[in-house]
Amino acid sequence: MSIRLLALIVALGLSTTALGQGKPRIEKAADLPRFTYKIDGSVEDVIRDDAKFRRFAADVRRDAESVLSGYQIDDRATLRQIEGELTQLDYLDGNLDSALKRAARVRELQEKPADKLMSGLQLRAMVGAQHKVGNRTSDAYRAETGRLIDADLAQMPYDVVQNEVKEAKASAEIASEALTLGYARTVVQPTVDKAGSLSSDLAPILVSARYRLTASLPLKATLIETYSRYLAAHKVDKPDIWAARDVQLAPGKALATVNVAVWDGGLDTALFADRIVKDANQPAVIAFDRYAKPAAGALQPIPAELQNRIPQMKSRLKGFSDLQSNIDSPEASEVKQYLSSLKPEEYKPAFEELGLAGNWMHGTHVAGITMAGNPYARLVTGRIEFDWHMLPDPCPTRELAERDARNQQAYVDFFKQHGVRVVNMSWGGSVKGIEEQLELCNIGSGPDERKKIARDYFEIQKDALTKAFASAPAILFVTAAGNSNEDASFVEDIPAGIALPNLLTVGAVDKAGDEASFTSYGPTVVVHANGYQVESVIPGGDKLAESGTSMASPQVANLAAKILAVNPKLKPEEVIRLIRGTADKTADGRRTLVNPKKAVQAAEAKSAA
């Protein structure tokens, strides 16, 4: 809601509640209405064919507008998503003035400073260029679009938007028709083939694909040149606030050993040598595969047929990281060339391999952050096997949900048996995520039945996680907020949206303490740590910088383990109070930046008292 409208409501003596009477209130993301769109034949035809897309878009517009007019929605991320989809539809319909007005509404709804500045940047330039030049296929149009983006960027503080501009440049560099249409061809089309329709959850994919294909992709060279020019003119890097806050525990002191569990995709225990908790002289590991069945080994296995591709997987992971940081490395160049030249049939294997590589390295990277600077930390492995396939494998079932539920308690019992004091969990899921998986698997007769099934499976898992955490009051569980730029409680993310006295949820900022574009937020997200391009180890010992709340959460798990090393008598609630009490609240009230040095000093003082 805009400040002007809020002032008008106050002046009229009304409240937002009064205005909302008569409209159903959307309390959770899962409460949003669902719609179904019949698709005959190819989704690519719908994206490419003017007449077919027009008919499809009219139905999508009708339903999106009915949600805005028929429901009381307070969640800004939801409003941004709906208004953003309508903005793209307006532009594609040629309603340029309406597109600008909607883009302005989306900008008003932005909550993060960089998002508010960058929101609608490209669309404003495209509309301005079209008004001035007319012909969207001309060199003059492309030049004017670049000029307008230049002018807009010139007014923005570089220290606020630099990460977002780097990410926009990286996105433009890998853009291609194969990437634009790949998800629709690989995931949406098989779903339509089975069901004959798609839901309002998948419909935005087709709208965005047409928008990118017709509006953004023709401007690829212009966007790369424009963002590159801006970055080249502003080479001053952000200050690093974390170096001064860091604390390293010196070895050989009379400090307590602290067992820490990394509950993740598994890890390369060889990299942590004598810092591993042992079971019968073997690393202490509990593992379940993606079918929720017991598994062996601390590290997720790479299939035999892909073993020889591990060096290339690592190289491409580094290439992605370098692209995000605007580093012109050989790996970044290879990734740009590889992705921008993918053939349609190469999309699925390429992205499944990248997904597998990301899962494979994730737990080791997290463990490296968790253990850094603490010779008193000892590592326990809780391995989950995350699915990496474009289409779910396995599909959700009640049996799988129940096995998962039993496994949650098994993990926590294992951690208790091995004296774990801190657990890091850089993962999550939501009820809407299950619902989308059900659609991709063609389970359920329609959206309403899928909604009911998803809620059943979700509550089984949420209840199990909550009970498992509560069964271990002496363990501090630390989890990532999520990377969807949404309210973790509104979308019902677990574990991030669970509220318990021994659970701490962490959001991500960058090295200067600025809120990361991707980080989720909400009432359970109470502290923030560096989660932007954090360097750590991956299997084999190579170093890699990665971004995500996955990287912020282990920073806080690391801090908790250091606090317990200097003061092992503290309970999880006391550790949380110390971390929050020594953190720095930012002026905008959105971020609570942890201060490891102050927190450890406070723990030492409490121990000495």
- One-character DSSP codes across 578-598: HHHHHSEE-TTSS-EE--HHH
- pLDDT over 80 at 521, yes or no: yes
Q: How many CB atoms lie within 10 A of CB 394?
A: 15
Q: What angle do CA 34, 35, 41 make, to 5 degrees?
A: 140
With beta carbons less than 8 A apart as the criterion, state whether 596 and 247 touch: yes
Residue 320 placed within a domain: no
pLDDT band at 9; cut points 50, 70, 90:
very low
Q: How many domains does the chain have?
A: 2
Cβ-based neighbour number of residue 392 at 10 Å: 18
Same domain, 196 and 255: no
Helix axes 220-233, 139-154, angle to 10 degrees: 30
Tokens of 47: 């994206």
In a domain, 164, yes or no: yes
Q: 305 CB contacts (<8 Å, ≥6 apart)?
A: none
What distance in Å separates the CA atoms of residue 255 and residue 247, rounded to the nearest whole number?
15
**Residue carrying structure tokens 């994919």:** 205
Q: Which of 212, 233, 254 is the last residue of a domain?
A: 233
The CATH number that applies at residue 485 is 3.40.50.200
Question: What confidence score (pLDDT) does residue 345 get?
Answer: 92
d(CA 185, CA 175): 16
Same domain, 219 and 251: no
Same domain for 227 and 258, yes or no, is no
What local confidence, expressed as pLDDT, does residue 237 receive?
A: 84
Identify whether residues 154 and 172 lie together within a single domain: yes
Return the beta strands (E) in 339-474 as ranges.
377-384, 420-425
Query: pLDDT confidence of 607, banded at 50, 70, 90?
Result: confident
Per-residue pLDDT tens digits for 116-150: 999 999 999 999 999 999 889 999 999 999 999 99
Q: To which H or E segment does residue 480 belong?
A: strand 476-480
Domain end, chosen from 233, 252, 282, is at 233
Contact 549, 505 (CB under 8 A): no
Least confident of 225-229, 269-273, 541-545, 585-589: 585-589
Instruction: Give the SS3 label for residue 214.
Output: helix
> Is residue 30 within 8 Å of residue 492, measured between CB atoms?
yes
CB atoms within 10 A of CB 214: 17
In order of 48, 123, 124, 406, the CA distances from 211 in angstroms are 10, 11, 14, 44
Based on the fold, state whether residues 116 and 251 are members of the same structural domain. no
Q: Is residue 136 part of a domain?
A: yes
Question: What's the pLDDT score for residue 51?
Answer: 96
Mean pLDDT within 443-451: 94
Whether 511 and 559 map to the same domain: the answer is yes
Q: Alpha-carbon distance 219 to 236, whole Å?
A: 27
Q: Are strands 584-585 and 592-593 parallel, antiparallel or unpaired?
A: antiparallel
Predicted confidence at residue 19, as pLDDT, reads 36
pTM of the model: 0.93
Residues 6+ apart with CB under 8 A from 339: 174, 176, 179, 350
Tokens standing for 329? Answer: 């490395």
Query: 222-241 pLDDT, tens per residue?
Result: 999 999 999 999 988 889 99
- The pLDDT score that the predictor gives to residue 21 is 52
For 81-116, what is each residue's pLDDT tens digit? 999 999 999 999 999 999 999 999 999 999 999 999
Distance CA 561, CA 572 (A): 11
**pLDDT of 267 strictly over 90:** yes
Same domain, 216 and 249: no
Residue 345 inside a domain? The answer is: no
Q: Residue 22: is its pLDDT beyond 80?
A: no
| Dist CA 187 CA 207 (whole Å) | 15
On whether residue 7 sits in a domain, the answer given is no
By residue range, what is the domain housing residue 119?
A: 25-233
Residue with tokens 């299939």: 303
Calculate what percentage of the chain has a pLDDT beyond 90. 92
The answer to whether residue 95 sits within a structural domain is: yes
| Residue range 192-208: mean pLDDT, rounded | 96
Q: Is residue 370 part of a domain?
A: yes
**What is the structure's pLDDT at 20?**
39
What gap in Å lies between CA 175 and CA 181, rounded to an integer? 11
Residues 6+ apart with CB under 8 A from 111: 76, 521, 590
pLDDT at position 609 is: 74
Residue 14 covered by a domain: no
